[in-house]
Amino acid sequence: MNTKVESFLPRELEITLSNNCFLKCKYCFFNYFQSNKTITANFEKICEGIEQYIKKAKKENVKVERIGFVDYPDPLPYYEILKKLIIYIRKKHTDLKIEVQTNGILLDENKLKFLFDNNVLVVLKFDGTKQSTDFLKKYRNISNSIFDKVIENLKKLPNEYIKKINVAPTFTPDTIHNLVSDINFLSDIGFCEIQLKNMGIPMIWSKNNLEKLEIELKKLKLFYLKTLFKNIKNKKHQLVIHFSSLFNEDIPKTFNEFLLESNGSFYTAYYPFYAKDSINFKVGYHKTGINLNKIKKTKEKIMKYLNSKISNSSDIIYIPNPALLYTTIKLLKVPNSLSLIESTIKFGKIVNKVLYDINKLKKI
Ligand code: SF4
């Protein structure tokens, strides 16, 4: 029997290349923590951070699943450094999975060619119809349509590039009524892989919105199964919808998020580092390495807090991302934290009830 305690080191490392964003998405916590001073990642610091992480993973016998350049904020404005980092990782750690997330505004054929040539998974954060996208995503300083810009960029791409992009729409209580139309729209553009996300700031779902959520998820499940069946029959490309980020099947031992930020520090949650410093979520530094004990203690603190607020302790499994919920409550000083926790659990229960079986369906 393997008695080794599983490591607290997360299996995925996410990297941010700056601390400021030129968008102002409705659901994004960056809106609360914009800084006047933009810090852009330093190539050496990020390389050192990556090496610290890989060294720790080897020591802990943890298989690294992914290194991702996340869109908090979008990495493409820093394309030159991104490119250098990808070349560096590919040279030193040939088999590592690399992911680049983007809002699509600066996406073009050349960048995609480089990313695909280097075996990088490109995740496009795009919400579907104009109605949903322009409601959720806005520029910080101008009123142009984000939807129009992304569609203009997509139209210039070869079809085989569209097929390779993994698209990740976000939905919120305000856009849930449009979920199936959004997915249908994305599928019609030609995307083959859709990752359903409800990331960002956990939100309060009213009774009415939870009902809409259940209706839309049921419709989506039906749409998905019909499309799968139709595509198998016609031997057409498969549409795959990933629902996994909506679930927390067994509370991960460690964190869903583990960040190496542009300043060279490691954090256990997705908030900009100048905000995180205030609640001390820093668990390492590119020069000195990662403090596993600190990760463990932070995790325990979060679980203890959430458990103390939940009447039925087994309900904790319905919180898709406990660390995100905790940091939201603490950093934004959410006044109605209990309602937020209860609403998150109700959300998780509906997702489980409707999609649990379909989440088990992998690529056919
Ligand atoms: S979700 Fe990403 S693109 Fe949108 S405001 Fe936040 S950091 Fe910027």
Report yes or no on 6 lying in a domain. Answer: no
Question: Mean pLDDT, to the nearest integer, of 39-55?
Answer: 95
Least confident of 14-18, 93-97, 148-152, 271-275: 271-275
Question: Above 50 in pLDDT, residue 64?
Answer: yes
Q: For the CA atoms of the chain, what is the radius of gyration?
A: 20
Report yes or no on 337 lying in a domain. Answer: yes
Taking the centre of ligand 1 as the mean of its atom positions, its distance from the CA of residue 331, in whole angstroms, is 18
Question: Above 80 in pLDDT, residue 5?
Answer: no
**CATH value at residue 331:** 3.20.20.70
Residue 15 Cα distances to 99, 122, 273, angstroms: 10, 14, 12
- In short, whether 71's Cβ falls inside 6 Å of ligand 1 is yes
Range of the domain at 265: 12-359
- In short, whether 290's Cβ falls inside 6 Å of ligand 1 is no
Q: How many CB atoms lie within 10 A of CB 28?
A: 21
Of the candidates 22, 67, 77, which has an alpha carbon nearest to the alpha carbon of residue 46?
A: 67
Report yes or no on 7 lying in a domain. Answer: no
Question: What is the model's pTM?
Answer: 0.93
Q: What pLDDT is recorded for position 3?
A: 41
The residue contributing the CA closest to ligand 1 atom 6 is: 28
Cβ–Cβ under 8 Å, residues 163 and 237 = yes
Is pLDDT larger for residue 241 or for residue 179?
A: 179
Taking the centre of ligand 1 as the mean of its atom positions, its distance from the CA of residue 137, in whole angstroms, is 8
Beta strand 12-15 with 259-260 is parallel
Atom from ligand 1 closest to the CA of residue 21: 8
Q: Quick one: tokens of 153? A: 């960029």
Question: Mean pLDDT, to the nearest integer, of 94-119?
Answer: 97
Number of domains the chain is built from: 1
> How many angstroms separate the CA atoms of 307 and 231, rounded?
44
Taking the centre of ligand 1 as the mean of its atom positions, its distance from the CA of residue 316, in whole angstroms, is 28
| pLDDT tens readout for residues 134-164 | 999 999 989 999 999 999 999 999 999 999 9
Taking the centre of ligand 1 as the mean of its atom positions, its distance from the CA of residue 312, in whole angstroms, is 34
Tell which one of 19, 20, 23, 101 to mutate to probe ligand 1, the residue whose CB is within 8 A of the most ligand atoms.
23
Question: Above 70 in pLDDT, residue 2?
Answer: no
Report yes or no on 307 lying in a domain. Answer: yes
Q: Quick one: tokens of 299? A: 């995790």
- In short, whether 271's Cβ falls inside 6 Å of ligand 1 is no
Atom from ligand 1 closest to the CA of residue 200: 1
| pLDDT tens readout for residues 285-304 | 999 999 999 999 998 999 99
Tell which one of 74, 101, 105 to mutate to probe ligand 1, the residue whose CB is within 8 A of the most ligand atoms.
74
* DSSP per-residue letters across 15-45: E-SBS--SB--TT-GGGG---SS--BPPHHH
> How many angstroms separate the CA atoms of 225 and 146, rounded?
31
Question: Above 50 in pLDDT, residue 125?
Answer: yes
Q: What pLDDT is recorded for position 364?
A: 37
* DSSP per-residue letters across 131-188: HHHHHH--BSS----HHHHHHHHHHTS-HHHHHH-EE--B--TTTGGGHHHHHHHHHH
Report yes or no on 4 lying in a domain. Answer: no
Question: Above 70 in pLDDT, residue 129?
Answer: yes
- In short, whether 30's Cβ falls inside 6 Å of ligand 1 is yes
Least confident of 59-63, 70-74, 151-155, 279-283: 279-283
- Close Cβ partners of 204 (under 8 Å, ≥ 6 residues apart): 173, 336, 339, 340, 343
Report yes or no on 352 lying in a domain. Answer: yes
> How many angstroms separate the CA atoms of 278 and 132, rounded?
34
Report yes or no on 238 lying in a domain. Answer: yes
Question: Above 50 in pLDDT, residue 363?
Answer: no
Report yes or no on 1 lying in a domain. Answer: no
